[in-house]
Amino acid sequence: MTVLAVLPTSASIAPAQGLALGRRFLLVSWNADGNADDATGPITPSADAELIRPPFTTLSLRTDWGGRRVLAILRAPRDPLAPVHFVAQNRVIAELRAGSGTAELDPAGLLGGLDAVARLRVVRFLFDFACSTPILRGDAGFAALCRRLVLELSPAPSPLAIRAAAGGDLLLCSGALSPRFGDVTGVVVVAPGAVGPAPFDACVGNDAARRGRATLDLLIDRALCAPGNLLVVLGVNGVACRRFPAPPARLPTLTEHLAVQRDAAPALRHYLLRSLAQRGRADASAASAVDEAQALAPLPRRQVADAKRPIGAALDLAIPLADGGLFLAGWIHDPHGLAGGLTVQTPFGGERRLDRFAHRFPRDDVAKLYGGSGLDRSGFVAYLPGAPEGAAALQVSAELHLVSGGAIRLVPPPRPRGQAEARAAVLGSLPPRFATRELLERVIAPAVAPLHAAHLATRAAPELVVFGERLSKPAVSVIIPLYRTLEFLRFQLASFATDPAMAGAELIFVLDSPEQRDEVVHLLRGFHGLYGLPMVLLVQSANFGYSAANNAGVADARAPRLLFLNSDVIPDRAGWLTALVAALDAQAGVGAVGPKLLFDDDSLQHAGLYFERDLQGHWYNHHYFKGLPRDFGPAGLPRAVPGVTGACLLTTRAAYETAGGFCEDYVIGDFEDSDLCLRIRGAGLGIRYVPSVELYHLERRSIGRHQGYTRGVASEYNRWLHSIRWDARMAELMAQPWEADALTVSHPPVTGRKRQGKNR
């Protein structure tokens, strides 16, 4: 409680009129001399020498006769018989006498003597206080008071038109405003029993069809869009009142409405998507409406690709990311230096600015269009960081700024819906030869990593199909990923069926191309009927890559030893698995072993894996003695090696779990095997090459059918990721002399490194 000191008496105390403002507040007004010295400064209300607690606000207005009208909104005093004093500059300037605060509002008396601008200020004053005072919004008496005041200014409100159902319980309403209305500063709904701010701001634009009238569009809850309710729009230069009609029985969807309006009202589209995204955080139907509107009613693509114009540009790809980042790919033909930066707007109000096109490369298609040589490096890619927005954006728009001050509007196609498709689009956005380390680090990786993680997050438990009776305690679990390539299955399974040592192994196939599910089930069922081999098939819900397929197989495996085997690897002779297991078990501290792998012409494909830098200092994986004859002497020596290929890698479950399994950060299938080997070595375990075990490897047949790999920079991205993680470890390993039985094995000569770059 705050007690006021005894105040000096005033020579002139204005009598105030108190008007009931609901049940708990008063609207008090008094007239004063326009030249009074208390015309400025704060005014404080008190009753019984105690300050009246907030909320409290005042408004001072000039009257037509040169005086001043002061309005105040305050809590009704606890004692309705106590006078209320208004103090300014340490003296009482107005008094509301006891019992005079129960009158009803007289709009004519309140607004009388005020010009149009002052009347607008009174309405805004009243509604601003109501919107900021929840206890007042639900007062039926106050709502009735507001209705009388509004209708005094606008006795016959025009009806709004209800245009579309916008998802859930939201409706899109439209109307028109005077072109002199100015910017909208507030939107209020007046219902019979309540008054309060509209749930969304309004969208105001120009409408040439209405001869300069401004369009008004508003998203509103269906419950508020009821006959009898009023919409009050407060503007810089006026107040507009509109009434809600009864909703029609049949309304178009928002998508249908946007499909018709998409060329005419981009501002409306942005308003709707931004508002729905705001509601979509708590309303699944609104979130679905955002997604549906973007997908089914996209903006038409816009580019400038006319050889007769001095400048051309296009955004071929724009991928907004869940973390707020934005990946761009496109081209700019600007031989005269007319272009400045690029501004990109998301449908939810977000904005990104690209001031410099740092990562450029030639585009043959652009060179052909403009008759150039392709050396102008018109293509570009860029990554722009940003904050996450309220919903997932599928399409953006952009402006290419010109030095003159003009701009060219560009609209790319919608981003690919699936995360894997979006990832593939990023990886395919430039030729691999231009994927520098800096570009991979600053542009490709910030886009690919979150897309890849989002794709992996969509995994469901794989479908399990069992052929025959599973072994309860197999010695080895053989895990074979399948992707597209099935022609070698008959040869691989035939060799397993004729090898007695395979009787103690369980066969687990992991299908990473679920569209082949029925075909593979049919094949394996036939092979099981032919050979009697028990088998398991795990069908992934999508292609999640080599590492994920192997990890899924391990999760279902029952054996203490794990053999990772490619579907294009065929044993040379029976007994190979027994020999490989013996090599793994022969020495303590060995975490993994790998065999000799051969091409179909009997030349060496793999005799252990090692790491080497190229002329630019980048690390690559290589296979010892690749391309040399099968019986090349050093390739026949069992020895420790830095790593072995995942085409045929035997390890223990304990080593696999200690290493953390296959790292799933790599895309599609590359470098995961060497990553696992480096993890196994990091656990203090060794890796050995076993030349006595020979298998044929018809190399990389599956990955060659993955367009996301063959047409983009996936391999470059994986190599970069592998290098930044393991640079120091690879350098340390390759500084060691790799020996076998005290015989130093030198690195192979250059002539022994044919077909480099094929690792598995």
| Res 321 pLDDT > 50 | yes
Find out whether 361 and 306 touch, Cβ atoms under 8 Å.
no
Residue 254 scores a pLDDT above 90: no
- Please give the C-alpha separations between residue 542 and each of 291, 298, 418, 433, in angstroms, as whole numbers: 22, 27, 11, 29
**What DSSP letter does each residue of 676-715 carry, written as one string?**
HHHHHHHTT-EEEEEEEEEEEE-TTTTGGG-HHHHTSSHH
Structure confidence at residue 120 (pLDDT):
80
Give the pLDDT mean for 492-496. Answer: 96
Q: How confident is the model at residue 324 (pLDDT cuts 50, 70, 90)?
A: very high
Mean pLDDT for the stretch of residues 278-290: 84
What is the per-residue pLDDT for 412? 97
Fold adopted by 463-752: Spore Coat Polysaccharide Biosynthesis Protein SpsA; Chain A (3.90.550)
Most confident of 201-215, 247-261, 460-474: 460-474
Asked whether residue 365 carries a pLDDT value surpassing 60, the answer given is yes
Burial class from Cβ neighbours inside 10 Å (0-12, 13-18, 19+) for residue 735 reads: exposed
What's the pLDDT tens digit per position in 446-493? 999 999 999 999 999 999 999 999 999 999 999 999 998 898 999 999
Q: Which of 188-197, 349-358, 436-445 has the highest mean pLDDT?
A: 436-445
Spatial strand order of the sheet with 25-32 comes to: 17-21, 25-32, 68-75, 57-62
pLDDT of amino acid 128: 83
Return the percentage of the chain with pLDDT > 90, whole number. Answer: 57
Q: Which residues, at least 6 apart from 504, have a Cβ–Cβ distance to it below 8 Å?
A: 471, 474, 475, 476
- Please determine, for residue 611, whether its predicted confidence score (pLDDT) is greater than 70: yes
Is the pTM higher than 0.85?
A: no
Contact in structure between 467 and 536 (CB atoms under 8 Å): yes
In the predicted model, what is the mean pLDDT of residues 127-142? 82
- Tell me which architecture the domain covering 14-104 has in CATH: Sandwich (2.60)
Could you state, in order of their start, the residue ranges of all structural domains in the chain?
14-104, 140-296, 312-456, 463-752
With cut-offs at 50, 70 and 90, classify the pLDDT of residue 495.
very high
Write the pLDDT tens digit of every residue in 230-248.
999 988 877 889 999 988 8
Asked if the domains at 14-104 and 463-752 fall in one CATH topology, the answer is no
Q: How sure is the predictor about 32, in pLDDT bands with cuts at 50, 70 and 90?
A: confident
Which tens digit of pLDDT belongs to each residue from 50-83?
A: 888 888 889 988 888 888 889 998 888 888 788 8
Residue 536 CA to residue 161 CA, distance in Å, equals 62
545: tokens are: 């890559």
Burial classification of residue 532, based on how many CB atoms lie within 10 Å of its CB (0-12 exposed, 13-18 middle, 19 or more buried): exposed
22 by Cβ neighbours in 10 Å (0-12 / 13-18 / 19+) ranks as buried
Residue 271 in tokens: 């308003």
Question: Is residue 557 over pLDDT 90?
Answer: yes
Distance CA 238, CA 304 (A): 42
Here the tokens at position 509 are 């196939």
- pLDDT band of residue 5 (cuts 50, 70, 90) is very low
Weakest-pLDDT range from 99-113, 332-346, 740-754: 740-754
To 5 degrees, how large is the angle CA 368–CA 373–CA 375? Answer: 120
Which of 417, 400, 422 is closest to 409 using CA atoms? 400
Q: Which residues contact 610 (CB under 8 A, 6 or more apart)?
A: 621, 622, 623, 624, 641, 642, 643, 734, 738, 747
Backbone angles phi, psi at 302, to 5 degrees: -135, 130
Cα separation, 504 vs 485, in Å, equals 26
Q: End-to-end distance of the chain based on CA atoms, in angstroms?
A: 82
